[in-house]
A and B are shown apart, each in its own frame.
Chain A
């Protein structure tokens, strides 16, 4: 891996994004708008005594889910474009290494995800009155790690799509089961045993557990760090798989 090439690639990807103002606007505005929608959905719902507001519970989880979903989509399309326009083929004949490209994407989109998470979290806390026992900085940290997970899985899945039509179809396959089983709709403890087992294998479940730890405890807990490191581990595995699919030679 060559830091100069990684940095040049990160800069190139961000410069491409800068020319696409509509995408930047959508990336930054979609999460706060969706959170506002959630706020109004739950506004008139009575809160059971001794429980957190439903909005607090759901919004906290969504702050981690949005960056994961959005970065998965953005990355798989961006990487697919590299493959279909021939730029990837050319890049692989230059001194650029496979990891240089993967890390370039990882860093560029993590930076975007950090901006996105900062905006969404700021709106959630200051405008929509989200309250958590723990710090909002930890929420942003977990959101960024989730975004990197989305990037890594997007890089990997793009290898299995030949067209953009196919690439977007991976979204429901990769993302929705993780969302359904992560514990936000039904508590993981209340699911059938085999569903719990599946849920235990999905990285988003750990991300959501980590966010709940932040919601419930004033100080970062050991459980939160453990959950977060599971997500980081999943990122590494996905990046290794993505590197394995990035072949210099193709048929």
Chain B
């Protein structure tokens, strides 16, 4: 199994507070990996470290064999920020075409990405006049259009209706089937079930790194949501690598 993203002993301080406290994890290539954790647990900081815009205190982040943020990765890694980072005073199409131009791609590629996120009919609308969900899809289009080998998506489905959310997840799996590696942060448990693997972090530490089924089984329940609640609330759990948990039936996790 190839590793697309390799994080080792990552420590990050923000605003005088330790946000990530020694995270070690690996994201297999061509998979959909979910990044879960309570709000404030460090998900976005981990994502920022992986795309190379976060100052880190110690540890390493390697993406496709290169240090995170290396110039060669700027064409290979697509990044969707949590708040839609598109220009509100430009149309959806002009936003996508601008980002396409940064990668030296033709306008047709930009228009294709706009259609892929279901915004073809709103393409000429200013982003500022769109609904929150549409705006976030406009932002997603700009992350998808360069067909990056690694896609880092910070809460891509917030504000989307169930139909669109299902369509987006089909899209994510289709991309993974073509070999794209996706790391997707989410709050929504039914999305977690759709992931090949899950990373669960709490207070800047990794508490689970396994398949959804294994995580549920390890927590002694069929229900993933219940499993997460147990993992999050269990004070004995600090790091899956340091503690062998008796209930865990498989793997290194929990």
Contacts and interface: CB of A to CB of B under 8 A. Distances in A.
Interface of A: 4-5, 8-9, 11-12, 15-16, 19-20, 85-87, 89-96, 248-251
Interface stretch (B71-79, B198-206, B207-215): B71-79
B55 A12 contact: no
Task: Give the one of A20, A89, A90, A250 with max B CB within 10 A.
Answer: A90
Contacts of B9: none
A251 B14 contact: yes
Contacts of B244: none
B102 A96 contact: yes
Given A19-B126, A90-B85, A249 B98 contact: no
A15 B104 CA distance: 19
Contacts of B103: 94-95
Nearest to A96: B102
Q: Is the interface of B mostly helix, strand, loop or mixed?
A: loop
B87 interface: yes
A12 B87 contact: yes
Contacts of A94: 74, 99, 102-103, 146
A20 B85 CA distance: 19
Interface residues of B, number: 34
Given A15-B94, A95-B75, A251 B55 contact: yes
A15 B51 contact: no
Contacts of B77: 93
Contacts of A95: 74-75, 102-104
Interface in B61-106: 69, 74-75, 77, 79, 81-90, 94, 98-99, 101-104
Closest 8 CB pairs of A and B: A8-B101, A86-B85, A86-B81, A90-B85, A12-B98, A16-B89, A87-B85, A93-B79
Given A86-B81, A90-B79, A8 B102 contact: yes
A249 B83 contact: no
Given A93-B51, A93-B52, A94-B74, A87 B102 contact: no
B177 interface: no
Given A86-B83, A249-B52, A249-B54, A93 B74 contact: yes
A4 B104 contact: yes
Contacts of A251: 13-15, 54-55
B174 interface: no
Contacts of B51: 93
Given A86-B81, A249-B52, A19 B101 contact: no
Contact of B85 (A16, A19, A89, A250): A89
Contacts of B126: 19
Contact of A248 (B14, B69, B82, B102): B69
Nearest to B15: A251
A19 B69 contact: no
14 contacts: A16-B87, A19-B89, A85-B83, A85-B88, A86-B82, A86-B84, A87-B85, A89-B81, A95-B75, A248-B52, A248-B53, A248-B69, A251-B14, A251-B54
Contact of A5 (B53, B55, B69, B102): B102
A224 B46 CA distance: 54
A144 to B, nearest CB: 24
A19 B74 contact: no
A249 B55 contact: yes
Interface string B140-181: 001000100000000000000000000000000000000000
A108 B34 CA distance: 41
Contacts of A4: 101, 104
Contacts of A250: 53-55
Given A5-B101, A94-B103, A249 B53 contact: yes
Contacts of B88: 85
B10 to A, nearest CB: 14
Task: Give the one of A11, A16, A94, A250 with max B CB within 10 A.
Answer: A94
Contacts of A11: 98
Nearest to A8: B101
Contacts of A20: 89
Given A95-B102, A250-B55, A12 B83 contact: no
Contacts of B83: 85-86
A251 B13 CA distance: 8
A205 to B, nearest CB: 36
